Chain A
Amino acid sequence: MSNDIFVITEHMDGKFSDVSFELVGKAKELASAWGGQAVAVVVGSRVAANVFASNLTLQIDDAALSQFNPEAHGKVIEALVKEKSPRLVMFGWTATGMDLAAWLSARLGVACAAYVKNIGADLTMTCQAYGGKMIAEVAPEGDMAIAACLAGSFPAEAGQGSTAAITISLPIDLSSLKVKFVEAIKPAGGDVDITAQAKLVSIGRGIGSKDNVELAEELAQKLGAVVSSSRPVVDAGWLPRTRQVGKSGLKVKPKLYLMLGISGAPEHLEGMKSAELIIAVNTDKKAPIFNVAHYGATADLFEVAEAMLELL
């Protein structure tokens, strides 16, 4: 058992994601409080890994790890964590971290918290649950804990540095994997690029049906804007995935982000909180979006949109 903190970093095409730097920065703060080391763990193949301000960077390099493979990466991380027994293992609550954190928790029988926004020196974890409507404080039992942290929770700068990575040998055999990477999927082209728009009219679940999307399109047209959306609208097939803002969609920073019927779950906020002017219309006066928007109205989005159309 140690007081070390392992950060499971993530990268694609040789580039580390912001959340990896954010977690390393936070790990350094905790490590100095606990008298341990902040260890950046880089699992991949031929990744330039001397980029963290960690106390130590451990690199596991193998051709089988060249693309994210939840089975291969999971096995490697499990073997490494078992061997080194850190006090805390940090993942991003991201497309890759979400495949691994809870799985590792069940494999090792250690506590795991998700939706983590902050971690105290006493290991109390602050989690943003229930679509951002509640903040929970939880304390993990045991000698080891896992935290799956929301992107954007800590400053990235504190994790950036040039610690020389130490390559360690593959801790487990990867010759009989059941999961095989086939190919990368690239974004579908042909649609407008919502990240390049100055104005977005963004619709959420509150839009109610595919037919109602037309109203948002009309309003957007009058404003010289483009329609974007939160994830449920895309999952329902009402808009193409190219229009999705948020964690699993695109990150946007328009001059205007006019939100109709979006409650503001953490996953959506990740994609739009830097917009210059955020106006939110929602029927739920306690919708979390009102804590982030600059202007808000508790109102029926259809009535507001129709009235705006008359005035524009």
Chain B
Amino acid sequence: MNIVVAIKHIPSIADDLPVKGNNVDFDSVDFVLNEFDEQSIEQAVLVKESVGGTVTVIGVDLIGELDNVLHLALAKGADKAVKITGDDPSADSHTQAKWLSEAIKGLSPDIVFAGVQASNDLDGQIGPLLAAHLDMPYIGGVSSVGVSGDTATVSKEFAGGVGAKYAVTLPMVVGVQAASKPPRYAPISKVRQIAQTATVEKVAPSGDASSGLTFKKMAPPVAAGHAEMIEGSSKEVAAKIVELLKSKGLA
């Protein structure tokens, strides 16, 4: 079975996001793997372990640092890594999905995984865009996948534990919310070893698509309100919280 995982390298939101013009200053931010892609890589490897096949991880190399992420995916059980040499850190979801779809077509996938969403999906997520380009059905919010023959059985979450199970004739695109098991850990020694030996296939971007969105402004939110900040050492903070809770009859 040909299993493909489409990943997205995105600006880290662990730190402040600097602004340049009307968008994020992509040259001054760290890029990280979209957190939902960790789940989708895991789900793909679980499917491979269950029914056999190969897992190909593919992403657009926005800043020339995608190899690190691809090596990690290989260490976690992916078999093949491909990067599209996009070299444009501002490439939106529509652009990336178009490039990815052109490259993925050549892989003849039976099932394609993507993270259900990313924090910078201002023009929508990679998964449904890929599905439209590849003319495959899409189901997102998925928290488990089983494959038998040419049928995938997927569980989709709505909210609060309510969901639905679907049977889908493959091929399809799956938007992963959470893998059926927590993502496995790859020891750093293994990642390093793979970094030295693995081959990452390079593909030039093909196709043209744009979100059709013009950025007019990008800025941190202007808050309507702000928390009353409790200052001091951790002990002082703890004392003030306890005092506050006691004063309100909550402790």
Contacts and interface: CB of A to CB of B under 8 A. Distances in A.
Interface of A: 12, 67-71, 74, 94-96, 98-107, 110-115, 124, 127-142, 145, 148, 178-188, 199, 222-223, 232, 234-237, 241-242, 247-251, 255-256, 258, 263, 265, 277-281, 284, 286, 288-300, 303-308, 310-312
Interface string B176-194: 0110011100000000000
Nearest to A270: B159
A139 B213 contact: yes
A279 B241 contact: yes
Contact of A95 (B13, B16, B141): B141
Interface residues of B, number: 91
A299 B237 CA distance: 8
Contacts of B97: 106
A106 B128 CA distance: 8
17 contacts: A12-B162, A94-B159, A95-B156, A103-B138, A105-B123, A105-B124, A112-B212, A130-B119, A135-B217, A135-B219, A178-B137, A179-B166, A279-B244, A288-B221, A291-B223, A295-B228, A296-B228
Nearest to A236: B182
Nearest to A151: B159
A284 B14 contact: yes
Given A138-B122, A185-B157, A295-B229, 11 more contacts: A95-B156, A102-B121, A105-B129, A111-B213, A115-B121, A137-B22, A284-B14, A288-B221, A304-B241, A307-B237, A307-B238
Given A103-B131, A138-B213, A139-B213, A223 B251 contact: yes
B129 A99 contact: no
Given A68-B164, A113-B213, A136 B125 contact: no
Nearest to A191: B161
B234 A300 contact: yes
Contacts of B239: 307, 311
| Majority secondary structure of chain A interface residues (helix, strand, loop or mixed) | mixed
Contact of B244 (A222, A251, A295): A295
Contacts of B14: 284
B149 interface: no
A295 B241 contact: yes
Contacts of A304: 234, 237-238, 241
A133 B17 CA distance: 8
A279 B251 CA distance: 14
B211 A296 contact: no
Contacts of A71: 137-138
Contacts of B231: 297
A136 B213 CA distance: 11
A82 B156 CA distance: 28
Most chain B CB within 10 A, of A111, A139, A249, A265, is at A111
Contact of A286 (B141, B163, B220): B220
B168 to A, nearest CB: 5
Contacts of B24: 130, 134
A279 B13 CA distance: 22
B20 interface: no
Interface in B4-50: 11, 13-14, 16-17, 22-24, 35, 39
A296 B229 contact: yes
A183 B165 contact: yes
B108 interface: no
B211 A95 contact: no
A279 to B, nearest CB: 6
B2 interface: no
A184 B122 CA distance: 31
A142 B212 contact: yes
Nearest to A145: B212
B235 A303 contact: yes
A185 B162 contact: yes
